[in-house]
Structure 1
Amino acid sequence: MKEFVVYTVLRIVLFLASFGVVVGLMALFLGGRYNLFWAVVLAFLISGIASYFILDRQREAFARRVEERASRAAAAFEERKAREDRDDHEDPR
């Protein structure tokens, strides 16, 4: 869960930083005016591309954690299934 929170918070921070830069550049080049819709779209695209490279380590840690949990859940499921099969074979009704 910690990895998810860290990755999500960093993605939000990266988006807000991208948004600030985009709004600043738009205001600078457009004489103090900017279009909020395009600023959000550009910030989203920039932060998405940047996060692919910048947040690689956090994304990998999150993926490992998810894989570990999935493996444990699958192993527990297989154990319950095997136990149920043993119980079915021992009780010939």
Structure 2
Amino acid sequence: MKEFVVYTVMRLALFMASFGVVVGLMALAFDGRYNLFWAIILAFLISGVASFFILDRQREAFARRVEARASRASAAFEERKAREDRD
């Protein structure tokens, strides 16, 4: 669960930073005005691409945790199934 929280918080922080940069650049380019819709869309795209490279380690840690949990659940299921077959 910790890996999920860390990745999610870092992803949100990256989006907020991207949003700030996009709004700042749009405000500079258009005399202090910016379109909120396009600022959100651009920030989403920029943060998505950036998170692919920047947050790779956190995403891998989360994936390892999910895979380990799924393996434990599968092993427990197989063990219960084998025990049921013996009965």
The answer to whether TM tops 0.5 is yes
State the TM-score bracket (shorter-chain normalisation): over 0.9
TM-score (norm 1): 0.93
State the one-letter code of the partner of 2:40.
V
Give the total of aligned pairs: 87
Structure 1 segments unaligned to the other structure (5+ residues): 88-93
Q: Deviations over 1:27-84 (max 9, x none)?
A: 0011100000000000000000000000000000000000000000000000000000
- Structure 2 length as normaliser, TM-score? 1.00
Bigger Rg over Cα? 1
Which blocks of at least 5 consecutive residues in structure 2 are unaligned?
Answer: none
Runs ≥4 residues deviating over 4 A: none
Q: Distance between the aligned counterparts of 1:43 and 1:85, measured in 2?
A: 55
Structure 1 vs Structure 2 CA RMSD: 0.2
Question: Structure 1 vs Structure 2: percent identity of aligned residues?
Answer: 85
